[in-house]
A and B are shown apart, each in its own frame.
Chain A
Amino acid sequence: MLEKKLSTGTGITFRKIEPYLYLAPATILVVLVFLYPIVDIIRTSLLQNNPDGIKTFGFTNYRLVFEDPVFWQALGNNGKLLLSVPILTVLSLLIAILLFEHVRGWLVYRGIIFMPYVLAVPVVGVTFGYLLGLNGIFNTLLRSAGLAFLAQNWLGSVKWVLPSISVVIIYREMGFGVVLFLARLMSLEKEILEAAAIDGANFWQKHFYVTLPQLSGVIEFFVVVELITMLSWVFAYVFVMTGGGPGFASTVMEFYIWKHAFAFRSPGIASALAVVLLMVTTLLIVLQLRLRRRSLEEGA
């Protein structure tokens, strides 16, 4: 009705603006939740308090950030977490290929191995807090294996806290990788694998030379998603399990931003830190754009 009425006189204009009407509600929320805050942190990060009490624009916050050893430590900690992505990817691939080999009960295995991904990070964190504690299962197993000298407070040790957090992240994220890779494996053409088997390729040869090359797209996708996770989504693990400690040994960028914003109440520093993290993720944005658009074009 509305369109009919409009189409007599202003039909062309309505047609021109119509798509934007559909976009309007989403745009309002995106501007509010993403774009305004991004502009605001850039502005706040450049504002500095001068001794005379007047605020001017400058790079003081950035200078303070770059002179802060904890900032470098936090950035380095995120970097160390990135190192667990290859381990995570290889483990997920291995399990997915094993499941793909028509083992009995593969659906049950898939169901169990994917389950940790459904658990909330705080829940996983609290539980592993006990499991990794002084009298937790890890240390108990070590002691019963006669390796008592290795037993320790895993989350309380400067040396072991980050590897321990990595293990917990791998525990939760592996389910996602397995499901993703398995779905791709099941869409492969079986003839090629059968041909390879007939030609006498063994298990490893078959999967290394035939399966893996065909999985390259989905592997790339998973690696990018997990790199993003290690930079942008690890706050909850750190907050629940260690509170950034001992000292700053497990402080990551997200946690340090939160700390400056809400515990130290220094919005300038928090904003400068946020801008730096944003810059680091920009590289991933480029990768993400390439990958996501490619997969969409292939599907269309």
Chain B
Amino acid sequence: MKTPKSLRRIRTLLASIPNQIVLILFSILSIYPVYYMAVTAFKTRPDWLHNQFGLPNPFTFQNITDALIKGEIPLWFGNSLIVTVASLVVTTVVSALAAYAIARFRFPGRAFYFNMMIALMVIPPAVLILPLFVLMVNINLINKLPSVIIIYSGLLIPFSVYLLVSFFRSLPPELFDAASIDGCNNLDMFWRISLPLSTPALVTLIVVNALFVWNELLIALVFLQDQSQKTLMPGLTLFKGHFTVNEPLIMAGTLIATIPMILLYLFGQRLFVEGLVAGAVK
């Protein structure tokens, strides 16, 4: 009895070797650029010049401290943080209210509104920037953080509404009937039933949207041209222009910018997966 079983195990193990090889290969490819960024950030420039791919020798924190002290990275980091948090607050509140209306009420124009949201997910931001630029100049918000906060909040609404509608619809209607008998009005039910029961969906949405705002380049580049108002992504691209002679310093900058998202990913991998898969897989 024992031998065939262990034999079978060895056979399945052997059979999975080709799979393992392919997966290991793709894992190396996936991780290599991050490895390169991380090791380069801790190298001296002379070391990097003749030892591009190995481990740092000597190991130095100079680039990280330089990036943090000499450059404007802490300032840009702060701006990115403000923009991300503010955009997420606005878009989540506004989208939750709209999604609640679409999921809970029957009213003329409901289907049209929902279809419009789905359609707007496809619009390229590049199409919208010129009129928005003129508008922001006219209302004197250009080079100010609120300009991009407004734009990001708006851009995120279609996807957020879409995701929340599909979630709100899955809540049992009996809960709302019972609350209605107990004298709750619709706004009460929004706060006391829909939102609390949707915490997983809301967290997922916030994580996915945070990734978008933190990493966005085009809008930040166009609307925040003032050095002190920049966010990390346009800041880093410009940083590269200024310091092309010091590659390890640039990699230190990109590493600092990447750490928050890597941390978010490590702690909330499940949430990313759920958010991105939502709507596609049922």
Contact = CB atoms under 8 A, between A and B. Distances in A.
Interface in A283-297: 284-285, 288-289, 292-293, 295-296
Contacts of A113: 23, 26-27, 30
Interface stretch (A56-64, A94-102, A156-164, A190-198): A94-102
B118 A292 contact: yes
Interface residues of A, number: 98
B107 A19 contact: yes
Interface in A4-55: 16, 18-20, 22-23, 25-27, 29-30, 32-34, 36-38, 40-41, 44
Contact of B36 (A16, A137, A258): A137
Contacts of A267: 130
Interface in B102-154: 102, 105, 107, 110, 113, 115-116, 118-135, 150-151, 153-154
Interface in B198-255: 211, 214-215, 217-218, 221-222, 233, 236-237, 240, 247, 250-251, 254
B20 A103 contact: yes
Interface stretch (A80-88, A205-213, A274-282): A274-282
B115 A112 contact: no
A298 B169 CA distance: 12
Pick from B165, B262, B269 the residue with the most CB of A within 10 Å. Answer: B269
B interface, over-half SS:
helix
Interface residues of B, number: 97
Chain A binding site: helix, strand, loop or mixed by DSSP?
helix
A248 interface: no
B94 A235 contact: no
B159 to A, nearest CB: 10
A224 to B, nearest CB: 9
A119 B162 contact: no
Interface of A: 2-3, 16, 18-20, 22-23, 25-27, 29-30, 32-34, 36-38, 40-41, 44, 94-95, 98-99, 101, 103-104, 109, 111-124, 126-128, 130-131, 135-137, 140, 171, 174-176, 179-180, 183-184, 187, 218, 221-222, 228, 231-233, 235-236, 239-240, 253-254, 257-258, 261-262, 267, 270-271, 274-275, 277-278, 281, 284-285, 288-289, 292-293, 295-296, 298-300
Q: Which 9 A-B pairs have the closest CB atoms?
A: A33-B154, A232-B124, A120-B215, A22-B101, A254-B126, A26-B98, A40-B131, A37-B131, A19-B105
27 contacts: A2-B185, A16-B107, A19-B107, A30-B116, A37-B131, A37-B132, A38-B123, A41-B131, A115-B262, A115-B265, A117-B272, A118-B262, A120-B215, A123-B257, A126-B236, A127-B33, A127-B36, A131-B32, A137-B53, A187-B281, A239-B217, A239-B218, A274-B126, A288-B118, A288-B121, A288-B122, A295-B282
